[in-house]
Amino acid sequence: MLDFQTLLQIFWTGLANSTYAVLLAAAFALVLKVVKVWNFAQAGLMGIAYYTMYLAIQKLGWPGYAALALGAGAAIVAALAMEVFGLQTFRRRHSPPLTFFIFTLVISEFVQYVLAMVAGTEPVSLAATIMSASYIVGGVVVSEWDLKAIAATVVLMALLFVVMKRTRHGQYMIAAADNPHLSRLYGVNVRRVYALTFVLAAVLIAAAMYLFGTRASMVPNTPLEMMLFAVIAALLGGMGNVFGAAVAAVFLGLLRAFSILVIPSAWQSLILYALLFITILFFPQGVRIAPRVRKKPAAGPASAGA
């Protein structure tokens, strides 16, 4: 029965479920914008954050927020290690873009294999029970998780906005994103900016994985597919537009939610890839063209400025 109630329900649930996707898309887009790298290692960071939190919650019995902090810490350490020992080395050597691609992708695969070895391939969840208290508002089922997730996402994105637009370090990030060489000449420590970018991304990732894990369960190779969603959102939102990516993630999440009305569930995941193709074909620069993002594709990301 396709009544307003059902539509509203789908809308609400879709919105709530796109929260972690928003954070993941923002993280990916942020690194893409500032460091100019397609951070395929994000899937690895996601896995590290998730399983660290899993360890803390299910094995050590820590409370949620402590586990989240630990997860964020683990992701931050991993991200910084990758940036400092990996990406900086390749930048110094003027390695071709291929190297950055292989490196980040292989990091994710490495993490995935290690997790599979250590934690096995049984689905694991962060929450003792996925069910949370729910209320009925206007005929729509609203769960506590939904509210917390949306609130958390809004707060985090607002914080990100404040950091990027109002703080000094945020200004440095934007300067380095536009012109790393020139920023360096103006005294901006570009390396520190890149490190900060990864820290922010890691925090977003950990938060996203916490939200996801308290609602669903996953196996070691789930992050790779979730990351694809983030990549598409980043593309759709416009390369270099973090908040555009966030909006795109919501849009995609809602699209996916409503698609069950027209497409049998077996074919659902195809929508993502179909969307990817459509995006590439018709919106190569993203749907929202942010100012000054008209980079020549050949001079684009995958290797940060020397």
Binding string, residues 270-289; x marks residues near another protein by CB under 8 A: x-xxx-xx--xx--x-----
DSSP for residue 82: I
Number of residues that bind another protein (CB under 8 A): 49
From 60, 66, 98, 182, residue interacting with another protein (rule: CB under 8 A): 98
- Shortest CB 266 distance to another protein, Å: 5
- Shortest CB 297 distance to another protein, Å: 3
From 80, 140, 219, 228, residue interacting with another protein (rule: CB under 8 A): 228
89 binds another protein (CB under 8 A): yes
| Region class of 94: left (phi > 0), else alpha (psi between -120 and 50), else beta | left
Q: Given the rule CB under 8 A, which of 123-131, 151-159, 209-217, 296-304 is the region that contacts another protein?
A: 296-304
Long-range contacts, stretch 281-284, CB < 8 angstroms, 24+ apart: 283/235, 283/236
**By C-beta, is 75 or 231 nearer to another protein?**
231
Q: Are 142 and 160 in contact (CB under 8 A)?
A: no
**By C-beta, is 71 or 301 nearer to another protein?**
301
Distance CA 169, CA 173 (A): 6
Pairing of strands 140-143, 134-137: antiparallel
In 3-state terms, what secondary structure has residue 209?
helix
From 84, 105, 124, 174, residue interacting with another protein (rule: CB under 8 A): 105
From 8, 64, 109, 140, residue interacting with another protein (rule: CB under 8 A): 109
**By C-beta, is 12 or 103 nearer to another protein?**
103
Cβ neighbours of residue 219 closer than 8 Å, sequence gap 6 or more: 121, 122, 123, 124
